[in-house]
Amino acid sequence: MAKTAWPAPDRRKLIGSYTSRLDGPQKATGAAKYAFDINRPDMLYAKILQCPHGNCKVLEVDTKEAEAMKGVAAVLVEKDARSGALPEITFAGDTVATVAAVTEEIAYEALAKIKVKYEVKPPLMDDRNPANVSGRESKTATGDAVAGFAAADTTIEGYYGLACVTHCCLEAHGQVCEWRDGDLYVWPSTQNVSGYAGGVKDTAALPLEKIHVDCQYMGGGFGSKFAADAWGNIGVTLSKMTGKPVKLMLDRDQELKIAGNRPSSYAKVKVGVKKDGTITAWDSNCWGSGGQQRFSLRTLPYVFTGIPNQNTLANGVITNRGAQRAWRAPNHPQGCLITMAALEDAAAAIGMDSLEFFKKNLSLTDKADIYAEQLDIAAEMIGYKQKAHLRGDKTPGPIKKGIGMSMHTWGGKGHPSQCSVTINPDGSVVAQLGSQDLGTGTRTAITMVVAETLGIPMDKVRTELGKNSYPASGASGGSTTIGGVSASSRDASTKALNVLLDKVAASLGVPKDNLEAWDGKIQEVGNPAKSVAWEKACSMMGMMPITQQGSNPPGDLTELTTDGVGGVQMAEVSVDIETGVVRMENYAVVQDVGLIIDMKTAESQLFGAMVMGVTYALYEEAIYDNKTGAMLNSDMEFYRLAGLGDIGNFKVHFMTDEKYQSRGVIGLGEPPVISPGAAISNAVANAIGVRVSELPLTPDRVLAALNQGGVA
């Protein structure tokens, strides 16, 4: 009988292999249809009129002229959900009205004809000023900080911060809605196929079974696409009002303004250290803003949670920008930067090599052994021994080089997931689940697991996901997808296989407990001589296919997915101390991640995270005007993302020893994006001899830091 547990290393053909995405060709040729690409007969285009003010009350909306335009099908004015009155608006870019028209051009023109009167109030935008806090205070104290600092030989005091960044998904948010025969069909770009319908059901006034969600391909979400959102509900309403399909996708400008952001965080930190590198105390006062959402950063100190004698205080500033959303590893990149930068400053203050300092203090983390091993590997990869120097590159000339490092941690256990697997009498196999492939390779990984379990090639298995009519599977957030879907698909395919083995046992004359699926055959365990080919075996089931449901956690409660990974990253940068420009040289990524299903897409996760990490470390920042509250760089020109020329050389390494892999599958979406800000900031400090307090590390900030000291 086949067992649910993951196969032993010598029984893995597909799991752990470099397998290309199955839908790569479709994506490259354009055959893959994203929400943006869905076109329905007679479809209308909806466009949103955005409020230009960060803080105001809408007094009057005159839509007469817009409504009278030829080609305009409907104009929907935004109302307060509870009172039904015209709304108070608390961030620029929020919706005032929406037009549905037969072409995009007419919709835009109609927007220009809507006349709005506002009562404008000053917005609060300054999140750097701690005097503005009004969020939720959180305080912790462990040990005796006073005594801890008294015991230190040196106490450093530093200020560190990260700007607000957005998700900037390649595919903007939005959806196409269509009513047909009393049912609602929605094609959204979503991270939450099985849960999406719940977000529009009240607007649609339909039972959930009448709402059909379909998302086959997705251009990223990073935590910003869990909900149906205001625009989802507007689309449903407009489609209902007009009786026509309605496409409502955000423009790039709106995507950047209103579709989510990562909270900013700023902190004053004190660290006490002894001359020998022992950390004796930590004190942090942190604030930041989640926009309209209450926020306080509770990830300090990060990774080195065992620092004795800590005081932490965290609070938030409510600003007039859109509400924060989960951003790839929520609150970890901020905690990581603030902690690793402060600790590295402490090492520099006592003249100690950073690597030695971090190693010495690993007992303050909960993964000392893993980090120790990873630090050595990363050091080897980046050539630390040959290149390392204490803070401040003494090489003559304007170009200074430096290395910095950081460590991170994440959970990543699989979410609840259900999957159904059908084995057809002709040997073809279909797996179905209400999950989604954000572009990460989920579809490919599921296919690999099912094919591996059944001992057949991947092209015999079709994986169908992206519809809420399939067995429900969790939302893709927190690196929970790969663990969830690989477990449920393993469970379902194992169960289906066992039904098949039952049918084949008699004809092979082998008890079913002694059968296995291997190499395109059903065979006696370890004995290909006693076997029957897969197709032949399947034909024995008669006319009825076998369908089995599997789940995470599996029915027999086998643990296929676990929690908790560590990673180390090292960055090498060069800094032109005359211009302030930072360039990436080399980057080493060492990641522990449990059992890897697809090595290739797993590596892609690391590469993608690195590009995103370099971007928020060096370039990315949502810039708002303090008088209007408007985002000033809501375009791809000044909302800078790293390009190919900017990212330097990446090297990646996975911890693939059996002791790591035997823990089962663990998610990888978040962990690698946590450290880049800290590692790159530390590398710049190492290069130029002074800390640049805030990310992104733009030339103006680098030059300002150099004015305070350093090698210049």
Partner 1 sequence: MKPFAYANPKTIEEAVKLLGDAWGKTEVLAGGTDLVTSLKQNLTSPDKVVSLKDVEGLSGIVAADGSLKIGATTKLKDLIANAEVKKNFPCLVTAAESIGSPQIINVGTVGGDLLQRPRCWFFRQGYGLFGTYEGAALVPDGDNRYHAIFDNKGPAQFVNPSSLAPGLIALGATVRVHGPSGTRDLPVAELFATPKADTDREYTLKPNEILTYVSIPMKGLKNATYEIRQRIGLDWPMVTASVAYEDSGGKAANAKVVLGHVAPTPWVSDKAAAALNGQAVGEDSAMKAGAAAAEGATPLSMNGYKVHQVKVVVKRAVMASMA
* E strand intervals along 21-153: 44-50, 56-62, 72-77, 88-89, 95-101, 115-120, 138-142
Least distance to partner 1, CB of residue 625, Å: 5
Among 580, 669, 676, 710, binds partner 1 (CB under 8 A): 580
Q: Binding to partner 1 by residue 633, rule CB under 8 A? A: yes
Q: How far is the CB of 54 from partner 1 (least distance, A)?
A: 11
Would you say 109 or 535 has its CB closer to partner 1?
A: 109
**Contact status, residue 287 vs residue 266, Cβ threshold 8 Å:** yes
- φ and ψ at residue 416, rounded to 5 degrees: -60, 135
Complete DSSP assignment for 484-504 = HHHHHHHHHHHHHHHHHHHHH
Closer residue to partner 1 (CB): 47 or 408: 47
At residue 122, φ and ψ (nearest 5 deg) are -70, 135
Q: Which is nearer to partner 1, 525 or 632 (CB)?
A: 632
Distance in Å, CB of 167 to partner 1, minimum: 20
Give 583-641 as a DSSP string.
Answer: EEEEEEEEEE-BS-SBHHHHHHHHHHHHHHHHHHHHT----B-TTT--BS--STTTS--
Residue 52 makes contact with partner 1 by CB under 8 A: yes
Is residue 65 near partner 1 by the rule CB under 8 A? no
Out of 63, 548, 628, 675, the only residue in the binding site for partner 1 (CB under 8 A) is 628
Query: Which residue among 103, 140, 626, 662 contacts partner 1 (CB under 8 A)?
Result: 626
- The DSSP 8-state label assigned to residue 556 in this structure reads T
**Alpha carbons 59 and 75: distance in angstroms, whole number:** 17
129 sits near partner 1 (criterion: CB under 8 A): no
Contact indicator for 581, 692 with CB cutoff of 8 Å: no
The edge-to-edge listing of strands for the beta sheet with 582-592 is 399-410, 565-576, 582-592, 649-655
Smallest gap from residue 619 Cβ to partner 1 (A): 7
Give the binding range for partner 1 (CB under 8 A) out of 146-154, 213-221, 591-599, 695-703: 695-703
E-assigned strand segments in 514-578: 515-518, 521-524, 527-533, 546-552, 565-576
Question: Where does this chain touch partner 1 (CB under 8 A) — which range of 19-27, 315-323, 414-422, 624-632?
Answer: 624-632
Member of 28, 112, 150, 170 binding partner 1 (CB under 8 A): 112
Nearest in space to 94 (alpha carbons), one of 320, 324, 326, 325? 320
507 binds partner 1 (CB under 8 A): no
**Residue partners of 64: CB distance under 8 A and separation at least 6:** none
Q: How far is CA 346 from the centre of its chain?
A: 31
CB of 707 to partner 1, least distance (A): 9
How far apart CA 361 and CA 304 sit, in angstroms, is 8
Residue 703 lies near partner 1 (rule: CB under 8 A): yes
| Residue whose structure tokens are 């989640």 | 290
The minimum distance between CB 483 and partner 1, in angstroms, equals 36
- 306 binds partner 1, rule: CB under 8 A: no
Q: Longest C-alpha distance within the chain, in Å? A: 84
What's the gap between Cα 705 and its chain centre? 31
Contact region for partner 1 (CB under 8 A) — 136-144, 258-266, 539-547, 618-626?
618-626
* Cβ nearer to partner 1, comparing 363 with 649: 649
Supply 221's token pair.
Answer: 């979400």
Among 20, 103, 579, 662, binds partner 1 (CB under 8 A): 579
Minimum CB separation from partner 1 for residue 109, in Å? 7
For the chain, the 3-state helix, strand and coil shares in percent, each to the nearest 5, are 30, 30, 40
Stretch that binds partner 1, among 133-141, 167-175, 233-241, 638-646 (CB under 8 A): 638-646
**Binding-site member from 102, 120, 377, 499 for partner 1 (CB under 8 A):** 120
Alpha helices in 248-331 (DSSP H): 252-258
Strand pairing class (261-262; 546-552)? unpaired
Taking the least distance from each CB to partner 1, the nearer of 307 and 688 is 688
- Strand bridging mode 429-432 / 461-464: parallel
Question: Quick one: which of 565, 625, 2 has its CA closest to 329?
Answer: 565
Is residue 635 a contact point for partner 1 (CB under 8 A)? yes
User: Phi, psi at residue 507, to the nearest 5°?
Assistant: -70, -30
Quote the least distance from Cβ 651 to partner 1, whole Å: 20
The only residue of 60, 276, 459, 625 in contact with partner 1, by rule CB under 8 A? 625
Least distance in angstroms from the C-beta of 159 to partner 1: 18
Separation CA 122–CA 153 (nearest Å): 48
Whole-number minimum distance, CB 645 to partner 1, in Å?
A: 3
| Site membership for partner 1, residue 5 (CB under 8 A) | no
**Piece in contact with partner 1 (CB under 8 A), picked from 346-354, 385-393, 461-469, 619-627:** 619-627
Q: Are 244 and 180 in contact (CB under 8 A)?
A: no
The Cα 66–Cα 49 span in angstroms is 12
Q: What is the CA radius of gyration of the chain?
A: 28
C-alpha to C-alpha distance for 78 and 63, rounded to whole angstroms: 12
The DSSP 8-state label assigned to residue 120 in this structure reads E
Query: How big is the site for partner 1, counted in residues (CB under 8 A)?
Result: 36
Site for partner 1 in 423-452 (CB under 8 A): none
The C-alpha atoms of residue 567 and residue 236 are separated, in whole angstroms, by 43
Stretch of residues binding partner 1 (CB under 8 A), selected from 80-88, 531-539, 605-613, 631-639: 631-639
Among 578, 659, 662, 708, interactor with partner 1 by CB under 8 A: 578
DSSP class of 561: B
State which of positions 639-658 bind partner 1 (CB under 8 A): 640, 642-646
| Minimal distance, residue 393 CB to partner 1, in Å | 18
- In the list 634, 661, 675, 681, the residue contacting partner 1 (rule: CB under 8 A) is 634
Specify the residue, 373 or 620, whose C-beta has the smaller distance to partner 1: 620
Q: Between 519 and 646, name the residue whose CB sits nearer to partner 1.
A: 646
Question: Please, what is the minimum distance in Å from the beta carbon of residue 699 to partner 1?
Answer: 6
Q: Which is nearer to partner 1, 368 or 704 (CB)?
A: 704
Nearest to 303 by CA among 405, 388, 184: 405
Interacting positions 89-108 with partner 1 (CB under 8 A): 105, 108
Span of 279-287, 422-430, 431-439, 635-643 interacting with partner 1 by CB under 8 A:
635-643
Residue 322 in tokens: 């859109």
Please, is 69 exposed, middle or buried when counting C-beta atoms within 10 Å of its C-beta (0-12, 13-18, 19+)? middle
Cβ 239 to partner 1 shortest distance, Å:
25
Sheet containing 521-524, strands listed edge to edge, beginning at the edge strand earlier in sequence: 515-518, 521-524, 527-533
Instruction: Report the C-alpha gap between 115 and 123 in whole angstroms.
Output: 22
Q: Which of 32, 458, 472, 581 binds partner 1 (CB under 8 A)?
A: 581
Q: Which of 511, 627, 662, 708 binds partner 1 (CB under 8 A)?
A: 627
Residues 152-181 that bind partner 1 (CB under 8 A): none
Q: What is the DSSP letter of 675?
A: S
- Binding residues vs partner 1 (CB under 8 A): 52, 105, 108-109, 112, 120, 578-581, 618-619, 623-628, 630, 632-635, 637-638, 640, 642-646, 698-700, 703-704
